[in-house]
């Protein structure tokens, strides 16, 4: 049943949202031309000199760019792997827990860090891993000298990846747990009657039962290969760890909004946007092909 | 569920309870520790003598914060931001999700609009062009920059669209026969049925606007316009270690007011800790319902 007269009301409903979208998402996309200009704030976008790919050439000639690309990929890939695997293991263990009220409590608690900001958590982490913080206090019991954790470039990626997994693993179990509820309990009963042990039931019923969820999450995470986590690193890093902790997003911030090299920062930002966009599109294509996934 | 009472299985159960409870405790331990430090004597905290229980219990840091005009001002800005931002998101999400849940027969170009929406979620102009746009709109130092700066919450819109599409068609047809127009249909048929998913996206909006610090840092040029998270980021987290040696950093961490900083951090967490238990029972249903498609 279609009422033709409704369409104009529908467009009216959509109007405010699309105005907002145009002003704050679509207009900025046109600003990308700055990446191909020698942008001068005095002249504006329309009158700045067009220099083609010079910004990109200059960008790749910098020593920094190799380092930040490597750091970004390295941290992001480790995070992707950790955030797929650890929630999976945790969801499987939680699924085996038979004390229901305890299960609810644990779920409620492990989801919580997801909702706390990186500003807050960074404040806490810098204190906990600080020079006189509890971690160093514990180490001193074993006669280990205090370590300046967030001043050590060799430790920084591990701390970033570890704290990100700590924050997100609980929340990331939600999809797995939802998939687990879809498994028919009769399968477990049948397997038990046939003499399958608990491990065999996990191996042959639970894992195949959530296989499609695992495939889907893995494929969709492809889109994050350049997302090393700006908010986290921005709040945890300092110049002592730039060599292993500076990533594309933090570099773009410093270059663009601190050093005011607008065109150079836009060029690097564009590189990231384009690569991410391609990766996400590929991942959605694969997800729709292999896991029958539709965004809408 | 299968009952499995072999000794090995029982031992595994006990092991599991200990392990999972331990992991859960690890998730709130740092938060608890922060509370303990904030309630301790500053000298004890500075020398690292505080563990999981306050040493020299006192409320002086909380009293000091109550008299700190800058902190209270930022707190108030964040409260305003959450109400304006989450309120606006709520209205816009519903107004966009309802029409977009219709078929392209009912809403011509529906799929085009949907792809535009998804495109803006996947691709963006980057930091500098976005900053320039907000600046040219004259919103620097204006609270509306914080409210509008993040643009439309597209992910939430899609979640609600998918939820609306899964509601039975018969409901709509019955209301149509009874003469309901599009606005009435949305408000009286669809919205009341979407409770869990609306609670979920509202939780996301509230948490986003409370936690977001970067727009506050970039779009507000003066500290008296900072929302709370930006204030905390600037006062507590940022340490200019540019020229510092390890010894200087050590001395600074001893001099810095650890109890006061911990109290500020803890207060900034309180709204999330209050909202979370009420809404968390909805969001699991909300997320899974919104993401499952026919």
Q: What is the pLDDT of residue A178?
A: 84
Q: What is the pTM of this model?
A: 0.88
DSSP B102: S
* CATH number, domain A64-290, options 1.10.1040.10, 3.90.480.20, 1.10.3720.10, 3.90.700.10: 1.10.3720.10
Residue B254: band (very low, low, confident or very high) from pLDDT cuts 50, 70, 90? low
In this predicted structure, the answer to whether residue B154 has a pLDDT above a threshold of 90 is: yes
Q: What is the pLDDT of residue A271?
A: 92
Q: Closest approach of chain B CAs to the CA of A175, in angstroms?
A: 7
Backbone φ and ψ of A229, nearest 5° = 100, 80
* For residues B5-9, average pLDDT: 80
Instruction: Point out the residue among B95, B149, B183 whose CB comes nearest to the CB of A17.
Output: B95
- Contact residues, chain A, for B4 at CB < 8 Å: 192, 198
Cα angle B259, B262, B267 (rounded to 5 degrees) comes to 125
Whether B105 has its CB under 8 Å from any CB of chain A: the answer is yes
- Looking at residue B255, what is its pLDDT? 55
Q: State whether B9 and A198 contact (CB < 8 Å).
A: yes
Is the confidence at residue A63, as pLDDT, over 90? no
Q: Which pLDDT tens digit goes with each residue over A245-264?
A: 999 999 999 999 988 999 99
For B116-129, the pLDDT digits (tens) are 998 998 888 889 99
Chain A within 8 Å of B218 (Cβ-Cβ)?
yes
Which chain B residues have a beta carbon less than 8 Å from that of A178?
A: 284, 287-288
> What's the pLDDT at A229?
92
Q: How confident is the model at residue B294 (pLDDT cuts 50, 70, 90)?
A: very low
The answer to whether the beta carbons of residues B212 and B233 sit under 8 Å apart is no
Residue B151 covered by a domain: yes
The whole-chain average pLDDT of chain A stands at 90
CB pair distance less than 8 Å for B213 and A99: no
Answer whether A252's CB lies under 8 Å from A269's CB: yes
Give me the interface pTM, i.e. the ipTM. Answer: 0.88
Q: How large is the average pLDDT for residues A25-38? A: 91
Q: Residues B27-39: pLDDT tens digits?
A: 999 999 999 999 9
Average pLDDT over residues A142-146: 89
Q: What is the DSSP string of chain A?
A: ---TTHHHHHHHHHHHHHHHHIIIIIHHHHGGGGGGEE--TTTHHHHSEE-TTHHHHHHHHSHHHHHHHHHHHHHHHHHHHHHHHHHHHHHHHHHH---HHHHHHHHHHHHGGGGS-HHHHHHHHHHHTSTTSHHHHHHHHTTPPP--GGG-TTTHHHHHHHHHHHHHHHHHHHHHHHHHHTS-HHHHHHHHHTT--HHHHIIIIIHHHTHHHHHHHHHHGGGGTT---HHHHHHH--GGGHHHH--HHHHHHIIIIIS--HHHHHHHHHHHHHHHHHHHHHHHHHHHHHS-----
**Residue A112 pLDDT > 70:** yes
- The domain locations on chain A are 1-52, 64-290
Question: Which of A10, A29, A223 has the CB atom closest to B125's CB atom?
Answer: A29
Residue B292 pLDDT: 46
Instruction: Provide, rounded to the nearest whole percent, the portion of chain A with pLDDT above 70.
Output: 98
Lowest mean pLDDT across A86-95, A196-205, A283-292, B226-235: A283-292
pLDDT above 90: percentage of residues in chain B: 48
**Inter-chain touch B1–A6, beta carbons under 8 Å:** no
Per-residue model confidence (pLDDT) at position A154: 93
Are A90 and B16 spatial neighbours (Cβ–Cβ below 8 Å)?
Answer: no
For B192-210, letters b (16+ CB in 10 Å) and e give: eebebbbbbbbbbbbbbbb
Q: Which residue of A has its CA nearest to B134?
A: A24
- The backbone region for A44, taken as left when phi is positive above 0, alpha when psi lies in -120 to 50, beta otherwise, is left
Band (pLDDT 50/70/90 cuts) for residue B269 is very high
pLDDT at B91 over 70: yes
Q: Do B211 and A122 touch (CB under 8 A)?
A: no
In this predicted structure, the answer to whether residue B256 has a pLDDT above a threshold of 70 is no
> A161: closest CA among A75, A249, A221?
A75
pLDDT at residue B251, rounded to an integer: 58
pLDDT exceeds cutoff 60 at A147: yes
Report the number of distinct structural domains present in chain B: 1
Nearest CA distance, B69 vs chain A (angstrom): 20
Q: Residue B293 has what pLDDT? A: 42
Lowest mean pLDDT among B158-172, B239-253, B274-288: B239-253
Report percent pLDDT > 70 for chain B: 88
> Is it the case that residue B57 has pLDDT exceeding 90?
no
Please list every residue in chain A whose beta carbon sits closer than 8 Å to the beta carbon of residue B24.
Answer: 105-106, 109-110
- pLDDT given at position A89: 95
Report percent pLDDT > 90 for chain A. Answer: 49
Q: What is the pLDDT of residue A106?
A: 92
Contact A198 B107 (CB under 8 A): no
- What letter does residue B138 receive in the DSSP assignment? T
In a domain, B54, yes or no: no
Q: Could you tell me the CATH number of the domain that includes residue B161?
A: 1.10.3720.10
How many CA atoms lie within 13 Å of B23's alpha carbon, on the beta-carbon side?
26
pLDDT in the model for residue A86: 96
pLDDT at residue B239 tops 70 = no
């Amino acid at each position: 049943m279609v009422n033709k007269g409704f369409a104009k009301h529908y467009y009216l409903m959509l109007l405010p949202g699309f105005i907002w979208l145009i002003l704050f998402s679509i207009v900025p996309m046109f600003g990308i031309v700055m990446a191909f200009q020698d942008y001068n704030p005095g002249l504006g976008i329309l009158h700045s000199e067009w220099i083609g790919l010079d910004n990109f050439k200059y960008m790749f000639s910098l020593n920094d760019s190799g380092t930040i690309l490597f750091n970004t990929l390295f941290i992001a890939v480790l995070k992707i792997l950790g955030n797929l695997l650890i929630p999976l293991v945790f969801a499987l263990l939680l699924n085996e827990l038979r004390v229901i009220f305890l299960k609810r409590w644990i779920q409620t608690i492990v989801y919580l860090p997801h909702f706390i900001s990186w500003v807050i958590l960074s404040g806490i982490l810098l204190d906990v891993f600080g020079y006189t913080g509890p971690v160093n206090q514990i180490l001193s019991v074993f006669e280990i000298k205090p370590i300046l954790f967030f001043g050590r470039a060799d430790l920084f990626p591990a701390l970033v990846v570890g704290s990100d997994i700590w924050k997100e693993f609980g929340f990331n179990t939600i999809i797995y747990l939802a998939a687990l509820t879809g498994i028919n309990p009769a399968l477990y009963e049948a397997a038990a009657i046939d003499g399958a042990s608990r491990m065999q039931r996990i191996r042959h019923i639970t894992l195949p039962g959530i296989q499609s969820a695992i495939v889907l999450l893995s494929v969709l995470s492809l889109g994050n290969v350049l997302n090393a986590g700006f908010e986290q690193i921005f709040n945890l890093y300092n110049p002592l760890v730039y060599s292993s902790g500076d990533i594309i997003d933090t570099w773009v911030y410093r270059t663009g909004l601190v050093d005011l090299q607008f065109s150079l920062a836009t060029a690097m930002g564009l590189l990231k946007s384009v690569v991410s966009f391609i990766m996400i599109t590929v991942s959605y294509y694969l997800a729709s092909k292999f896991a029958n996934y539709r965004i809408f | 569920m299968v009952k499995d009472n072999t000794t090995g299985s029982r031992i595994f159960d006990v092991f599991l309870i200990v392990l999972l409870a331990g992991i859960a405790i690890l998730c709130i331990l740092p938060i608890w520790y922060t509370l303990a430090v904030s309630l301790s004597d500053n000298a004890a905290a500075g020398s690292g003598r505080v563990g999981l229980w306050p040493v020299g219990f006192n409320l002086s840091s909380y009293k000091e914060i109550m008299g700190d005009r800058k902190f209270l001002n930022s707190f108030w800005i964040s409260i305003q931001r959450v109400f304006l931002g989450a309120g606006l998101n709520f209205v816009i999400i519903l107004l966009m999700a309802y029409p977009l849940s219709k078929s392209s027969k009912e809403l011509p170009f529906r799929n085009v609009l949907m792809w535009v929406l998804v495109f803006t979620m996947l691709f963006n102009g980057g930091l500098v062009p976005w900053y320039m746009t907000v600046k040219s709109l004259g919103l620097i130092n204006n609270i509306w920059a914080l409210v509008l700066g993040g643009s439309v919450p597209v992910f939430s819109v899609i979640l609600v669209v998918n939820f609306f599409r899964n509601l039975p068609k018969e409901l709509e047809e019955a209301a149509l026969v009874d003469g309901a127009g599009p606005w009435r249909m949305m408000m009286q048929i669809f919205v009341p049925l979407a409770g869990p998913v609306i609670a979920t996206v509202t939780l996301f909006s509230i948490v986003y606007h409370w936690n977001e610090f970067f727009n506050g840092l970039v779009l507000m040029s003066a500290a008296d316009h900072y929302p709370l998270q930006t204030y905390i980021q600037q006062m507590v987290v940022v340490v200019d270690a540019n020229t510092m040696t390890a010894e200087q950093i050590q001395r600074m961490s001893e001099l810095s007011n650890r109890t006061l900083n911990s109290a500020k951090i803890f207060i900034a967490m309180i709204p999330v800790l209050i909202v979370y238990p009420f809404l968390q029972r909805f969001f699991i249903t909300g997320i899974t319902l919104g993401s499952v498609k026919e």
